[in-house]
Structure 1
């Protein structure tokens, strides 16, 4: 084992031991005091300019009364504070959204920057391994900006040279606990810069009522719930295929029925046809009247219905070849949405090998060729393993509701989704808290989005069916 010796003793050292390593310490250069003062003054000035540029409102609120009190006395400073408060108080009370947009979130961002992130930045970075101690100094990622929304803090960070996104994605739990948040999600802003999202509250903690049936027919993205940023969650079904994975009671039925409710006016207008495969005879049977004769429960009937969808797809492809490359729903060529509840029962657990192969081949054909000619697939399953659903990668858009194991998250949403914050295995199994909550990964973005589907009760489904039959009768 090598022995390390101080640099001052090395000059007088005479050693005959071959395994003794002599370590020389570099000479220490004394920096003149004037240079140190100039550097400190320059950094102080640059910090004040940067603070003024980034947080002008917060800085003005704190410094203006102090300056007025110093120049004109405490009475003038008191008046200067009272007048704005008499205006800001009613503004915040009666028009909270605009007050928060202009002042509230900016003040909160400044406070969170100073009290939470700046104060704990150095120890969190060093302990989590995102910072480095080189040549006697700490090299830390740069904290650029904090932006507050109604539910989260968004922290903009400049990475150290040589760091990768995976270095941060692997340490989301360290970052979340270090800054006192429930979770942390990492997204790429641009080269070298990341956005760290730390939720302060959960806007999806309360179940959502069923979304109202639209008045105008549309096959565009249909509203099925709400995103974590309080914006509506609109699910694209035309021009894509959607896979919904979740454990028992995770809320797969809420996603399916919310999509059906959004498409119902288009169904009455003849622009959409809903084809349902219900091997469990439980979920889709409530709205059997909506599907008409395009409903199948027996495995053989399901295989026949899928083969018919493939025939329609190929007939359209023959007519569209050389004429059009995308589908526009019409009464003659409506958009066909094939809804498959518990697809694993048909593709893996079906005892008849011939039917299993027919169904798997038909689903693979539809998911690879169907969306260009107006045939989409909305499939739900509980077990996302490859041996259960070997065509899951053919679905461009994927939804992961509550899952039992952490490995299943990447099976559904793709590699690295859980490291980016899609903690679907941490969703609460209590129905009131976690039913319908999940993460969406779209074809156009690798970053998962946390959402919650609206709860569609049995009474909502029966009422929807009655209105649908009444509308068709009229």
Structure 2
């Protein structure tokens, strides 16, 4: 009945029935004591070297005080021990930024590594399913290092062989709760390496005042707010198209008016024209003087204005063919930004089928062909479903503000965006906390960035219209050969009239 088994002979059997598992002791290899000591000594030396390399400041301070105590006595060690904190405090008070960059954040990273991440690493990754326990041995992803800045911890991790980024993205919420963070974002550093971002606080919790109007005309990226890491939020509108999606009260107007505000010097210089479509008759009507007659609210007028933009685009394409492949804003050929508020009303909810088809066809034409000739689209909507906006994939850059459902995040930003940390459905509905907060995903990067646009108040809009509207730009229009308002504003290559033409 008994078969030969590996290890010692079977012993201490409880039962010999066929259904009972055979209990045996596995073979034990007796290791010489000298080999065990050498292995232990090697691990001790390797651990000390690793400690010194990773945490030079934390090691140098106690070692230095110990050396001074040994060579010069206790009094000198205590004196130096008191002088070093005083010097550090003085450095912190006088040069806070350099102290935090060189010392402060490193010490915090070391403390967080020991107290938070290394202490809880094994139970968190095992319970979340990212580690494995096989044959009495734990296989865990390697926690490499932790870096800190003003608002977040960034944990560098080496994945187990055979793991995928999606395995970690699906468990981002488990990791956030396991390490006591409000959220977790997963980004790829390189093959097999990830960076987990755990915010410690929310730097975008407080509303931002309107960004000052730039002094110099620049069509480049427009500063409209702030990113979560403290950098200015600069949104590119020339050479791309931007789609903004968010529920009612999410702050879409802050992005529209923030962009227009940043382009005001270029509008005055004649390098940019903003054409506004405002079917709600509420958001963009405050500053209609900035659009020089290119404002439409009625659906039929919106369709006519879009058709006119298509005509400008096609005329430029005929002139640029074989001469240039990209657009440089000039007075003769300014950059045209078509701003559409609540585009879903024009493309899905418009009862007139003929108008709906005209508008959809014009938007599709502009988004597929307008970028190279200097015609850009910035559209805002509330409902991002495909049947509402079937050309949303034609917008390279997308912004997701507060959304009602988690599935809508991937509809706006693309597949996998929510798994990478774009929790737009978790943004607070309280206006002063969540209005203007969103996630930006550019065509050049798959990782969404949490941002907040500055709030442009009604008073700011009225001031913009008064300072940069038709009245204040009349002299500029006259200098460019346009006297008075023709009802359509001044534009290049339309109705036989061009900026700066000799005929004018």
Q: Look up the match of 2:392.
A: 392
Distance 2:67 2:350 in 1: 79
Q: Comparing 119-128 with 80-89, which one deviates more in the overlay? A: 80-89
Cα RMSD of the aligned pairs, angstroms, is 2.1
Q: Look up the match of 1:435.
A: 435
Give the C-alpha shift of residue 230 in structure 1: 0.6
Q: Look up the match of 2:473.
A: 472
The answer to whether the Cα contact below 8 Å between 2:335 and 2:374 also exists between their aligned partners in 1 is yes
Q: Look up the match of 1:202.
A: 202
Q: Comparing 63-72 with 77-86, which one deviates more in the overlay? A: 63-72
Q: Look up the match of 1:307.
A: 307
Distance 1:321 1:435 in 2: 44
User: Are residue 140 (structure 1) and residue 140 (structure 2) matched?
Assistant: yes
Give the C-alpha shift of residue 86 in structure 1: 2.5
Cα 1:62–1:404, aligned 2, differ >3 Å: closer, same or farther?
A: farther
The answer to whether the Cα contact below 8 Å between 1:6 and 1:23 also exists between their aligned partners in 2 is no
Cα 1:263–1:25, aligned 2, differ >3 Å: closer, same or farther?
A: farther
The answer to whether the Cα contact below 8 Å between 1:58 and 1:106 also exists between their aligned partners in 2 is no
Give the C-alpha shift of residue 70 in structure 1: 4.2
Q: Comparing 69-78 with 192-201, which one deviates more in the overlay? A: 69-78
Q: Look up the match of 2:256.
A: 256
User: Are residue 47 (structure 1) and residue 17 (structure 2) matched?
Assistant: no
The answer to whether the Cα contact below 8 Å between 2:13 and 2:23 also exists between their aligned partners in 1 is no
Give the C-alpha shift of residue 67 in structure 1: 3.6
- What secondary structure, in the 3-state scheme, does the structure 1 residue paired with 2:445 have? coil
Give the C-alpha shift of residue 195 in structure 1: 0.5
Give the C-alpha shift of residue 468 in structure 1: 0.7
The answer to whether the Cα contact below 8 Å between 1:343 and 1:380 also exists between their aligned partners in 2 is yes
Give the C-alpha shift of residue 473 in structure 1: 4.1
Aligned length: 469
- What secondary structure, in the 3-state scheme, does the structure 2 residue paired with 1:218 have? coil
Q: Comparing 117-126 with 442-451, which one deviates more in the overlay? A: 117-126
Q: Look up the match of 1:321.
A: 321
1:349-360 matches, cutoff 5 A: 349-360=349-360
Give the C-alpha shift of residue 23 in structure 1: 8.9
The answer to whether the Cα contact below 8 Å between 2:12 and 2:23 also exists between their aligned partners in 1 is no
The answer to whether the Cα contact below 8 Å between 2:182 and 2:199 also exists between their aligned partners in 1 is yes
The answer to whether the Cα contact below 8 Å between 1:401 and 1:437 also exists between their aligned partners in 2 is yes
Give the C-alpha shift of residue 64 in structure 1: 2.1
Cα 1:10–1:304, aligned 2, differ >3 Å: closer, same or farther?
A: farther
Distance 1:164 1:25 in 2: 38
The answer to whether the Cα contact below 8 Å between 2:436 and 2:453 also exists between their aligned partners in 1 is yes
Give the C-alpha shift of residue 21 in structure 1: 8.0
Distance 2:163 2:11 in 1: 37
Give the C-alpha shift of residue 40 in structure 1: 2.1
The structure that has the greater radius of gyration is 2
Deviation per CA, 1:24-82: give whole Å up to 9, x if none: 87533333332222222212211211111121112212332234334443212111212
Cα 1:425–1:23, aligned 2, differ >3 Å: closer, same or farther?
A: farther
Distance 1:205 1:273 in 2: 34
Distance 1:415 1:6 in 2: 52
Give the C-alpha shift of residue 12 in structure 1: 8.9
- What secondary structure, in the 3-state scheme, does the structure 2 residue paired with 1:471 have? coil
Q: Look up the match of 1:330.
A: 330
Q: Look up the match of 1:371.
A: 371
Cα 1:369–1:24, aligned 2, differ >3 Å: closer, same or farther?
A: farther
Give the C-alpha shift of residue 96 in structure 1: 0.9
The answer to whether the Cα contact below 8 Å between 1:252 and 1:401 also exists between their aligned partners in 2 is yes
The answer to whether the Cα contact below 8 Å between 2:283 and 2:341 also exists between their aligned partners in 1 is yes
TM-score where L is the length of structure 2: 0.89
Cα 1:289–1:45, aligned 2, differ >3 Å: closer, same or farther?
A: same
Deviation per CA, 1:304-331: give whole Å up to 9, x if none: 1111111111111111111110000001
Give the C-alpha shift of residue 9 in structure 1: 4.1
Cα 1:25–1:298, aligned 2, differ >3 Å: closer, same or farther?
A: farther
Cα 1:273–1:33, aligned 2, differ >3 Å: closer, same or farther?
A: same
Q: Look up the match of 2:239.
A: 239
The answer to whether the Cα contact below 8 Å between 2:401 and 2:439 also exists between their aligned partners in 1 is yes
- What secondary structure, in the 3-state scheme, does the structure 2 residue paired with 1:438 have? strand
Distance 2:455 2:34 in 1: 69
